[in-house]
Structures are given as C-alpha cells and as structure tokens.
Amino acid sequence: QLIVMKAILEDIKSNKGTSSFHAFRYQVPYFQFKWHYHPEYELTYIVKGKGYRIVGDSYEYFTDGDLVLLGSNLPHTWSGKSNDDIDSDAVVIQFSNEFIAPFLELNESISIKNMLENAIRGISFEADVSIVSKIIDLSTTNGMDRIINLISILDNLSKKQTKSIASNTFHNVVSKKNEMRINKVCLYIQNNFYNKISLKEVAGLVYLTESNFCKFFKKATGKTYSDYLNELRINEACRLLVQSDKSINQISFECGFETLSYFNRVFLNKKGVTPSKYRNSKTI
C-alpha cells in the first residue's frame, strides 16, 4: 500500500477578508515548524530571522533578506530560533490565481506569467533595496495602491535572475491524509537531530513499520530518512563553522555525528569541500 503524506492546508480566503489579496507583517519570537500548503501564490521576505527553509524536497539554511516566491499548493515552512532576543520578522503576500489571472492576459505581463509558472517549484531572488521597501510598504498600504504596488513588485521581480528551489523530480500531491504525521516527524527530527535518532524511533512516532515509514518519508520529502537527517545536520554544521569558533570535532558531535570521520565524509559528499575548507572560504 502506497502511503501519501501531505502538509496542512492553510485557509487564506478567510484570512484576507474582503481584500483582493492577503499582505501582512509576521513578527514572532521565532518561526515555528509548520509544514503547510495553500492554493494561493506566496511571496515571502524575511526581514529578520534565521533557520531552515523547507520547500518541497529542498532543505536550505536561511537568514535576513531571504526572498522567495512559491507556486500553488507547494508545501513549505520557515523554521528557526533566533540566537538573540530580537523577534523574527517577515512580510508575507498571498494572492490567488483568480486575482492575478486578468493581469496575465495582458501582453505586458508575459514575464510575470513565465515567472509564476516557474514558481511551481519555488524560486528565490537576490533582494535589492527598492523591491524590499515596496514589499514592506505593501503590508500597510490600502485601496487601489495595494494592487498597483503588488503588480509593480511582481513586474520588477520577473526581470531579475532567479534560482529554483525544489527539484525537477518533486511532484506535489495535494491530500490531507497523513498531514499530522509528517509535521510530527519533521518537528521531532528538528528538535532532536543532535541526538542519535533511530529509524525505529521515528517510525514509532506515527505508528508505522520501519519499511512503511521509509516509503512514507521518501514520498513526503523526496529524500530518504537518513539523507534528510544528514542534510539537516550538515546545514547546522555549516552555520556553526561560519558563526562560531568551535572546533570541527566539537561541531561534528554537536550536530549528531558519532564519529569525526563519518562527519567529514558526509560533509564532503554534501558540500564538495572539507569542513575546514568550507570555514576558510566563508570567513575570508
């Protein structure tokens, strides 16, 4: 039996009220793990915050200035605790296909149309000052100015270089079945990755056999359980290599690796360089 996972469906229609689209400032002590999806497109700018951004089968470290456009029904979450007392801060803009479709019929909107089609896998941008100020202002703008400014933002973004986020092989299947399971598993992994976590342990969380759990997890994330866990650990190691003076040996154990040799092997496989070379290249 094939087990299909899904993220939580977020109801944006009720959130936006009578507005044509939803634009808001989201300020919290930290971004909590919430693996979810919605039919609307979403443009998210991280004003302040750091942690991990999961989009489809992509798992990447993010920090201040992260700017991402997500397509319809693409599961995602930003998750991370700040190292200081400053709140995490984001501007989120969510708009439906029904809202944007009339604009896409215009000849002048061809670049926006192409960009939105590419957003099915999620795309990230290098944020510049002019676009960022428009995005931040949009959360407090009213009336027709909101619509004009959003189209202007999308037009500006459509002319910039982009980077795809989820892989070509990622196929999203919208289903509410097992939505709680994947959230429970991923949250547990995130909170405990620095410890030894056995396959039996995580499978038991969602009452699956180890064999069925492996199928479930691969379908959910596009990765095997061990690869997902190692990727999370290596991303955390990258952060510590750049942001701390801890020894490589100490970092490897803090990130959940039982031996330094295994850590070095996985790091080289994931990043293409040794931990020491990675640290030197990022701190020059």
Q: Residue 33 gets which letter from DSSP? A: P
Scanning the chain, the segments in alpha helix (DSSP H) are: 12-16, 97-104, 110-118, 129-138, 144-158, 179-192, 199-205, 210-221, 225-243, 248-254, 260-271, 275-283
Mean pLDDT by 10 residues, the chain (284 residues): 50 66 90 83 94 84 93 87 74 95 95 95 92 94 92 96 82 60 82 90 93 88 86 88 92 94 95 92 67
Indicate the helix (H) or strand (E) that contains 141.
none
In words, the CATH class of domain 8-164 is: mainly beta
Kindly state the tokens that stand for 207: 């009452």
Domain range summary for the chain, segments of one domain joined by +? 8-164, 179-283
**Fold held by 179-283:** Arc Repressor Mutant, subunit A (1.10.10)
Q: According to the model, what pLDDT value does residue 190 have?
A: 81
**pTM score of the predicted model:** 0.70
6 and 75 in contact (C-beta within 8 Å)? yes
Instruction: Say if strands 8-9 and 36-37 run parallel, antiparallel, or are unpaired.
Output: parallel
Q: According to the model, what pLDDT value does residue 214 have?
A: 93
Q: According to the model, what pLDDT value does residue 4 have?
A: 37
